[in-house]
Copies of this chain bind each other. A is one copy, B any other.
Amino acid sequence: MSTPPTRRRTASHEVSAALLRAAETVLDRDGSDGVTVRAVAEAAEVSPTSVYNRFRSKDGLTVALAVRTLARLGEIVDVPAGPEPRERLRQSCRNYRDFALRHPARYALIFGTGSPLEDQSSEAAESGRAVFTVLKGLIGDVAPELDDGELPEAAQTVWAALHGSVTIEQAGIGQTPDADATFEHMLDCLIQGVTAS
């Protein structure tokens, strides 16, 4: 009763953050299907009720994990301004690839089948749109001639190529010998395609 409200809110926030970190550990270890209220409670060494009180369900956990993952992805693709715009876009795309290859389960959660982003009204979809906005900004700097209708199309094309590229690489089914070189070639091609139209 004597604890100041701000301190109580901080403490509650910290508990949520700890549960989310535990959920992420479960996700990395067992994939999306493994992220259940029970498994997260076990990993966090709390009661299932504690997890349930904060995230309600497996779906609640999934959305919270997607928001967290997309926030992190948004940070790493938002390469600080400074380099020449094309080089900045390239670095952003390289960061995207690194993230996907380092965290395949998190990546599959946000962009694979059953992604919570499919529900356009979810908080996760909002986080997805924020990452897309970063990508649009980077491409807009590379191709300032694109109008408001063309820019989202160009960004969607770049995203599709990135997504296809990293999921092909994750599945180990690429048809070229050097994935690094192929990725750089793809970036050449995309930048040519985006700026030539």
Number of this chain's copies in the assembly equals 2
Which B residues lie within 8 Å of A172 (CB)? 115, 117-118
Which B residues lie within 8 Å of A197 (CB)? 188-189, 192
Min CB–CB distance A90 → chain B (angstroms): 14
Q: Complex formed: what's the CA distance from A157 to B155 in Å?
A: 16
A129 contacts the other chain (CB 8 A): yes
Q: Which residue of B lies closest to A129 (CB)?
A: B175
Dominant SS at the A interface? helix
A-to-B contact residues, CB < 8 Å: 108, 111-115, 117-118, 125, 128-129, 132, 150, 152-157, 159-165, 167-168, 170-176, 181-182, 185-186, 188-194, 196-197
Tell whether, in the assembled complex, residue B112 and residue A171 are in contact, meaning their CB atoms are under 8 Å apart.
yes
The contact of A168 among B111, B165, B193, B194, by CB within 8 Å, is B111
Tell whether, in the assembled complex, residue B192 and residue A176 are in contact, meaning their CB atoms are under 8 Å apart.
no
Which B residues lie within 8 Å of A115 (CB)? 171-173
Tell whether, in the assembled complex, residue B113 and residue A170 are in contact, meaning their CB atoms are under 8 Å apart.
yes
Tell whether, in the assembled complex, residue B159 and residue A117 are in contact, meaning their CB atoms are under 8 Å apart.
no
Complex A-B: 21 CB contacts under 8 Å: A113-B167, A117-B173, A118-B173, A129-B175, A152-B175, A154-B185, A155-B175, A156-B174, A156-B175, A156-B182, A156-B186, A159-B164, A160-B165, A164-B164, A188-B193, A189-B190, A189-B193, A189-B197, A190-B193, A191-B193, A193-B196
